[in-house]
Chains A and B, each alone.
Chain A
Amino acid sequence: MNDTTMNGIAKSGAMTFPLPLAPVNVNDCLLELYEEHYELEDYQKGVPRWCTGCGDNAILTAVQRLCRDEKLAPEKTVFVSGIGCSSRLPHYMNTYGFHSLHGRALPIAEGIRLARPDLKVFVNMGDGDCCSIGAAHWIHAIRYNMNMTAMLHDNNIYGLTKKQASPTSPIGLKTNTTPRGSYLEALNPLSVTLGVSNVSFVAQVVDWIPKLLYQTLSAAYHHKGFSFVRIIQRCPEWLPTHMDDYLHDPQRVLLLHHENGLEIDSELAKRYTNMEEHDPSNLNRAREIASGSDPIPVGILYRNDDVPLYEEVRSDSRLRTTSLVKNGLEAEFDKFTIWPEGQTRAKHEAA
Chain B
Amino acid sequence: MEVEEISKVKQKNTNGHAEASGKVAPVDDRSSTATAKAATKGKATRLSEHIVEIISDSGEGAQKCGQSFGAIVAQMGLGVWTTEIIPAEIRPPARSVAGASGNRIRIGSKRISNGGNETDLVIAFNEQVLMGRVRANELKPGCTILLESMWRDDRRIAKTYTDAVEQLLAAGYKVVEIPMDKECRKVVSDPRKGKNMFVLGILCGLYSLDLQTARDQVVLTFGKKAAKVIESNIALLDAGYAWADANLDFKYEIPGAKSTEPQIVVNGNTALALGVLASGMEICAMYPITPATSTSHYLSEAFQEVGGVVHQAEDEIAACCFAIGASYAGKCTVTITSGPGYSLKQEALGLAVMGEIPLVIINVQRGGPSTGQPTKTEQGDLMTAIFGSHGDAPKVVIAPGTIEECFYSVITARKIAETFNMVVVILSDANLASSQQPFKRPVFDEAWLAPPIDQSAIPAGAKPYDWDPKTGLARRFIPGQPGGMHTLTGLAHDENSHVAYDAEINQRAMRARSLKLATLQKTLLPPPVFGDRTGDVLIVGWGSTKGAIEEAVAELREEGKKVSSTHLTFIQPMPPGIKEILAGFKKVITIENNWSDSPADEMIDESNRRYSALAMLLRSRYLVDVDCWSDCRGTPLKPNTVRKVILEAMA
Contact = CB atoms under 8 A, between A and B. Distances in A.
Nearest to A317: B307
A71 interface: no
B384 interface: no
Contact of A107 (B263, B325, B479, B482): B325
B283 A98 contact: no
A110 B308 CA distance: 15
A320 interface: yes
Interface stretch (B16-24, B185-193, B445-453): B445-453
B441 interface: yes
A240 B323 CA distance: 40
Given A75-B484, A329-B278, A107 B322 contact: yes
Nearest to B310: A314
Interface residue tally on A, bucketed by range: 35 or more
Contacts of A329: 274, 277-278, 306, 444
A122 to B, nearest CB: 12
B228 to A, nearest CB: 23
Contacts of B15: none
A111 B321 contact: yes
Contacts of A337: 262-264, 441
B313 interface: yes
B513 to A, nearest CB: 14
Given A101-B321, A340-B262, A341-B258, A111 B280 contact: no
Interface of B: 74-75, 258-266, 270, 274, 277-278, 280, 282-283, 285, 302, 305-309, 311, 313-315, 317-319, 321-331, 333, 347-348, 351, 355, 438, 441-442, 444, 446, 449, 451-459, 468, 471, 473-475, 479-491, 498-499
A340 B322 CA distance: 43
A338 B347 contact: no
A116 B479 contact: yes
Contacts of A331: 305
A32 to B, nearest CB: 14
13 contacts: A75-B482, A97-B485, A99-B487, A100-B324, A101-B321, A115-B330, A116-B329, A320-B306, A320-B307, A324-B307, A329-B278, A331-B305, A336-B265
A270 to B, nearest CB: 40
B452 A136 contact: no
Interface in A154-170: none
B213 to A, nearest CB: 10
A-B pairs, 7 with minimum CB distance? A111-B325, A10-B456, A97-B487, A328-B306, A107-B321, A111-B326, A108-B325
A24 B265 CA distance: 32
Given A322-B449, A338-B264, A136 B348 contact: no
B452 A74 contact: no
A8 interface: yes
A76 interface: yes
Contact of B326 (A73, A76, A90, A112): A112
A223 interface: no
Interface of A: 1-11, 14-17, 19-20, 22-24, 26, 46, 73-76, 78-80, 83, 90-91, 93-101, 104, 106-116, 118-119, 136-137, 139-140, 314, 316, 318, 320, 322, 324-326, 328-333, 336-341, 343, 348
A314 B311 CA distance: 9
Contacts of B486: 96-97
Given A2-B475, A10-B457, A96-B479, A332 B302 contact: yes
B483 A16 contact: yes
Given A75-B485, A136-B318, 12 more contacts: A1-B473, A9-B456, A19-B457, A97-B485, A99-B490, A101-B347, A107-B322, A111-B321, A111-B325, A114-B283, A316-B307, A332-B277
Instruction: Report which residue of B321, B446, B489, B498 has the largest number of chain A beta carbons within 10 angstroms of its beta carbon.
Output: B321
Contact of A90 (B302, B321, B487): B487
A125 B344 CA distance: 21
A8 B265 contact: no
A75 B305 contact: no
Given A1-B468, A338-B75, A348-B262, A140 B325 contact: no
A11 B264 CA distance: 43
B274 to A, nearest CB: 6
Contacts of B326: 111-112, 114-115
Contacts of A101: 321, 347-348, 351, 490
A193 to B, nearest CB: 16
A326 B262 contact: no
A140 B312 CA distance: 11
Nearest to A345: B262
Contact of A333 (B259, B264, B282, B307): B264
Contacts of B330: 26, 115-116
B479 A338 contact: no
Contact of A111 (B302, B308, B323, B438): B323
A310 to B, nearest CB: 9
A4 B454 contact: yes
Contacts of A93: 487
A183 to B, nearest CB: 27
Given A98-B488, A99-B487, A329-B277, A7 B475 contact: no
Nearest to B306: A328
A7 B452 contact: yes
Contacts of A326: 444, 446
Contacts of A15: 456-457
Contacts of A115: 283, 325-327, 329-331, 333
B306 A324 contact: yes
Contact of B475 (A1, A10, A330): A1
Contact of B453 (A26, A73, A78, A90): A26
B491 to A, nearest CB: 7
Contacts of B485: 74-75, 94-97
A330 B329 contact: no
A88 to B, nearest CB: 9
A111 B329 contact: yes
Contacts of A74: 485
A339 B321 CA distance: 42
A96 B305 CA distance: 33
Contacts of A108: 321-322, 324-325, 328
Contacts of A328: 277, 302, 305-307
A6 B260 CA distance: 38
Nearest to B325: A111
A6 B454 contact: yes
A332 B303 CA distance: 10
Contact of B325 (A9, A110, A320, A336): A110
Given A116-B479, A324-B307, A98 B444 contact: no
Contact of A16 (B261, B277, B457, B475): B457
Contacts of B259: 338, 340
Contacts of A9: 456
A270 B63 CA distance: 76
A17 B475 contact: no
A137 B287 CA distance: 13
A331 B277 CA distance: 12
A4 B266 CA distance: 39
Nearest to A313: B309
Given A1-B468, A340-B262, A119 B480 contact: yes
Contacts of A91: 487, 489, 498-499
Contact of B318 (A83, A96, A140, A336): A140
A168 B321 CA distance: 25
Contacts of A112: 325-326, 328-329, 479
A325 B480 CA distance: 25
A227 to B, nearest CB: 18
A76 B483 CA distance: 11
A156 to B, nearest CB: 25
A291 to B, nearest CB: 26
A119 B479 contact: yes
A206 to B, nearest CB: 27
A100 B479 contact: no
Contact of A343 (B262, B270, B313): B262
